[in-house]
Amino acid sequence: MNQSSLTQLTAECYEPFMEYVCSSSFPRIEAVPGQANTFNVRFACTSTCQDAFTQCSQLFTVFGMQSQIPQCDAAIPGTTAFAPPNGIMYQPDGTCNAVHALSVNGGPAGIGNRTTTCDAPFVTDPMTGPGGTTTNPQFCMNGCCIPCPAQYYLYREGALDTGFRITNIIRAISAVLGFLLMMTYLCLDDKRSHPSALILFFSICVFLFSVVIVFPLVDTRAMQCADLINPSTQQNNLKCAIQGAILVFASVATCAWCTALILNLHFHTVWNSAWFAKKYWLLHILCWGFSFAVAGVALGMGEIKWEYATLCLVSQAKASQIFFYPLAAMVFPAFLIHIATFIHIARISVMSSENSETMSRSTLSAGAAAVISHRRHVMMAIRIQWRAALMAICAIVSVMMYWLFYFIQLRKIDPSALREHIIMFVYCLKVGKAHDTCADELSPYLPPYGLMIAAESVVSSIGAVIFIVFFKPALVREWGDKLASLGYLLCGKRKLKKEQDQFFVI
């Protein structure tokens, strides 16, 4: 291997490879103490050869340098000349020749005098780190970097651009519909009292959850990337910090008010209680306070960053502890309570059906009358609150689906987990195959494209789903009455006086 080839080695490979080369090429001769003209010859270490193999074998394979890969179970190269026919094997630690790597051009290869040519979509490492080191070792190797957003270049060309553009549009539509629903419950007089007030606060959270799409709609790459190579974090991109904090807050608040809706439905249906009607001060403290606390912890720990789709969220490394476990503490108990509510409804319906068979043949007992009364209460509760029940189911299912995708699939995008496969992706490009062909070969190691877009679509459409569930024709009539009354108040004294005069003329 010549010096120009050495400059192509990564810093991780260069040092162990040079130790291997030097210790193999230059055995160390040591005089034996107390014995004149007696020497020990120390040959290369097995551990040195194994380190070089581990750090360099994949790199040499990619660049067609298989002949340079160390063969640690064979004889040391060149030793068959003076120890025929089998040569000398690598030696165990403590009895071998261990040397430190030498520098090339005054520094480790991969840091100075690099002449790497990078195949598209990879770009040359700008090497802006301290002391001229690589920009980001997660996304850069051998002088080449995969541009940000890295995951976009590992799928078929334009696939994620198109997919996430669709999900952005869905979320934007959800934001508009969520705003309309929020203003409906905020402006119409009878919608600000219990239990409609619960839907008002829930719709505010859903609107905040959806409206963050404004950030990437203005400039998607500016939200995802701090520069050409590095993804956005709250430390290097203020917009990412603001958007991520709003999204975390809105997500937790949405689940919190959804839980309040489920509990209210349970108390009203099962226990015939309106306990929440006088406890809104407690709901505000718990729901808003808990949401602020989770968002504050995420920001305080510096864990807001971009890793997936077009929005910043909590990093995968801390997502469970900071984000998903607090959601689980609300979502799963609420889901069980919701199931219990419907089991109660089903049981009451069966009991009332059995009792109805004997109603015409016997006088109702006090117990039977109570059952029928409770049944009427339950059915009335369902007629009044079935929309809230359906909404709660939609919200919980959306959160659970996204959470499962996050845990099962999204971790595959971790650069450290993909490093070995990306090397083969680079090799595929270097042998002249088309980008889409290489992306297809890499696809088994990535989250499925369709599942990724589906998971993002589910959470992006929450605002639209909630609008469809709650916006009924009666609200249109109420808006008409509201606007008509406002128009009457704003018409001015002249029109009012004219109407009064017409009354007296009549």
Mean pLDDT confidence for 384-408: 74
Mean pLDDT confidence for 113-125: 66
Six-digit token string for 92: 């165990």
Six-digit token string for 484: 């008509």
**Average predicted confidence (pLDDT) for the chain:** 79
107: three-class secondary structure by DSSP: strand
Number of H helices, E strands in the chain: 18, 7
249: three-class secondary structure by DSSP: helix
- pLDDT tens-digit map of 34-53: 777 777 888 889 988 998 89
Reply yes or no on whether the pLDDT at 494 is more than 60. Answer: no
- pLDDT tens-digit map of 337-351: 887 887 777 777 666
Reply yes or no on whether the pLDDT at 122 is more than 70. Answer: yes
**Separation in Å, CA 134 to CA 54, 98, 108, 129, 138:** 21, 28, 12, 6, 10
Six-digit token string for 132: 């001229």
pLDDT at 23: 84
**What is the pLDDT confidence band of residue 22, given thresholds at 50, 70 and 90?**
confident
75: three-class secondary structure by DSSP: strand
**What is the pLDDT confidence band of residue 414, given thresholds at 50, 70 and 90?**
confident
* Closest among 87, 90, 104 to 11, alpha carbons compared: 104
**Separation in Å, CA 83 to CA 38, 46, 87, 90, 154:** 19, 18, 5, 13, 50
pLDDT at 128: 59
Reply yes or no on whether the pLDDT at 7 is more than 70. Answer: no
H/E stretch holding 477 reads helix 473-490
Which range is least confidently modeled, 124-128, 224-228, 234-238, 316-320? 124-128
Query: 504 in the Ramachandran plot: left (φ > 0), alpha (ψ -120 to 50) or beta?
Result: alpha
CA–CA separation, 32 and 30 (whole Å)? 6
pLDDT at 109: 37
CA–CA separation, 51 and 12 (whole Å)? 10
Reply yes or no on whether the pLDDT at 305 is more than 90. Answer: yes
Reply yes or no on whether the pLDDT at 143 is more than 50. Answer: yes
| Residue of higher predicted confidence among 476 and 146 | 146
pLDDT at 242: 95
Which range is least confidently modeled, 66-80, 307-321, 382-396? 382-396
* Closest among 202, 149, 56, 155 to 446, alpha carbons compared: 155
Asked whether 146 and 422 are in contact (CB, 8 A), the reply is yes
Mean pLDDT confidence for 284-290: 95
CB neighbour list of residue 487: distance below 8 Å, 6 or more residues apart: none
Please name the residue ranges forming H helices in 357-448: 366-408, 415-430, 435-442
